[in-house]
Amino acid sequence: MSLFPAPLLRLAEMVVAQAREKKLRIATAESCTGGLIGALLTEVPGSSDVFERGFVVYSNRAKQDMLGVPGDLIADMGAVSEAVARMMAEGAVENSNAHMAVAVTGIAGPGGGTAMKPVGLVHIAVARENRSILHEAHRFGDIGRGEVRIKTVEAALELLQRLF
């Protein structure tokens, strides 16, 4: 029995298979998902071939200390921003033995949202050595904390696939 819904597990199996085929190692940098992406990837048997490490960087300080995200960038743009997501992904590649990384930062709710950054806003970025960083912003809406987090995991793996 998996901790995750079957469609998500199938997506993770595809990601692991694609990474294995291309001999790529993956790192994750997770804020609002708190390690769920890494948990899903490691649910796949044999994922140790491709999953290098996961950074759970829930606090701003952790983003700075573990991934090298500049504190002034977080202060200026906010932790939930495209710029911070991109730096998190880049920092995860630089601070690991991975070839690529996916990073997520968002507002899962139920509180914490503003008019400019509502509950359900998530920024996802994927970095790969010698490639342009990909970014997506998702506005899942105030659909519940768990649902925002699960939808973020799915969107993150889908974006990661685009850099294979």
Stretch 92-107: mean pLDDT = 98
* Domain of 110, in residue numbers: 6-161
Tell me: the pLDDT tens digits for 107-127?
A: 999 999 999 999 999 999 999
Q: Does some domain include residue 57? A: yes
Q: What is the CATH number of the domain that holds 117?
A: 3.90.950.20
25: which residues sit within 8 A by CB, 6+ positions away?
Answer: 19, 50, 51, 52, 96, 97, 98, 99, 100
Position 157 in a domain:
yes
The region that residue 23 occupies, defined by phi over 0 for left and psi between -120 and 50 for alpha, beta otherwise, is left
What would the pLDDT profile of 24-46 be if each residue is shown by its tens digit? Answer: 999 999 999 999 999 999 999 99
The number of domains in the chain is 1
* Cα–Cα distance, 6 to 64 (Å, whole number): 35
Q: What's the pTM?
A: 0.98
Residue 127 counted as domain residue: yes
Q: Is residue 1 part of a domain?
A: no
